[in-house]
Amino acid sequence: NAGVMQNPRHLVRRRGQEARLRCSPMKGHSHVYWYRQLPEEGLKFMVYLQKENIIDESGMPKERFSAEFPKEGPSILRIQQVVRGDSAAYFCASSAGQIQETQYFGPGTRLLVL
Amino acid sequence: AQSVTQPDIHITVSEGASLELRCNYSYGATPYLFWYVQSPGQGLQLLLKYFSGDTLVQGIKGFEAEFKRSQSSFNLRKPSVHWSDAAEYFCAVGPSGGYNKLIFGAGTRLAVHP
């Protein structure tokens, strides 16, 4: 039973380019959370999605960032026109339900903006 | 506002010594509490969780934690530390907003001396 998968594991972008991060939840999980970890900090919530719906995007910057979780395929976190401050580790977690369900984390995507 | 405080940024212990990592939270209702461990360059692995019931929770790798409502604490303990326990440890509280959005502490980095 494969765990949460994220790709790429490492991503290097130049300022102004787009970054696209993918997350495949565990089999049977329909709830996906994205978190960002800046260097030397804890994880900060960005967005919570269920299949085809964004439930809470209160932690996501209003501009340049977007997320989706289509009916088929992985969840995508998209960052347009990246800036150096976007350099961070982005983690995806999935769970089977909304409450009282363990979140299982993927290995993360480490984004470096040059 | 909901928050998690991990007062110790770095802790160093000798192999075989006991360990206690502190976690204090601020939360308006009965919290769900979690401890995760992160090895360098890796994702987060769940050590243990508290939802309700017995306030002393057993986890993997010989870890345990005790929920103390009166002190708003959920400290992680291990009676005898192994060199492989060196990692970063995160305490988290949820749910938030009616679902499993987690709020993380800033983490405690554990070093183990031989």
Among A8-12, A23-27, A70-74, B29-33, whose mean pLDDT is lowest?
A: B29-33
Write the pLDDT tens digit of every residue in A70-109: 998 999 999 999 999 999 999 999 998 766 678 899 999 9
Give the CA-trace dihedral at A47, A1, B91, A111, to 10 degrees. -50
Q: Could you please report the per-residue DSSP string of B13-52? A: EETTS-EEE--EEE-SSPPEEEEEEE-TT--EEEEEEE-S
Chain mean pLDDT for chain A: 92
| Contact indicator for A23, A74 with CB cutoff of 8 Å | yes
| Contact indicator for B85, B78 with CB cutoff of 8 Å | yes
Give yes or no for residue A1 having a pLDDT over 60.
no
Q: Which residue among A99, A104, A107 sits closest to B95, beta carbon to beta carbon? A: A99
Structure letter (DSSP) for residue A15: T
Residues of A with CB under 8 A from a CB of B: 4, 31, 33, 35, 41-45, 48, 55-56, 58, 91, 93, 95, 97-108, 110
Give yes or no for residue B23 having a pLDDT over 80.
yes
- State what percent of residues in chain A have pLDDT above 90: 77
Q: Which residues of B touch A101 (CB under 8 A)?
A: 100
What is the interface size between A and B, counted as CB pairs within 8 Å? Answer: 67
Give the CA-trace dihedral at B1, B97, A65, B46, to 10 degrees. 90
Percent helix, strand and coil across chain B, each rounded to 5?
A: 10, 55, 40
By CB atoms closer than 10 A (0-12, 13-18, 19+), residue B14 is exposed
Percent helix, strand and coil across chain A, each rounded to 5?
A: 5, 50, 50
User: For testing the chain B interface, which of A105, A110, A112 should be mutated: the one with the most B CBs within 10 Å?
Assistant: A105
pLDDT of residue B99: 66
Contacts of B70 (CB under 8 A, 6+ apart): none
By CB atoms closer than 10 A (0-12, 13-18, 19+), residue A18 is exposed
Among A3-12, A16-25, A41-50, B96-105, whose mean pLDDT is lowest?
A: B96-105
Of residues A103 and A63, the one with the higher pLDDT is: A63
- Tell me which residues of chain B, numbers 54 to 73, contact chain A at a CB-CB cutoff of 8 Å: none
What are the residues facing B110 on neighbouring strands? B11, B87
pLDDT of residue A111: 97
Structure letter (DSSP) for residue A94: E
> How far, in Å, CA of B85 to CA of B60, rounded?
12
| Contact indicator for A55, B99 with CB cutoff of 8 Å | yes
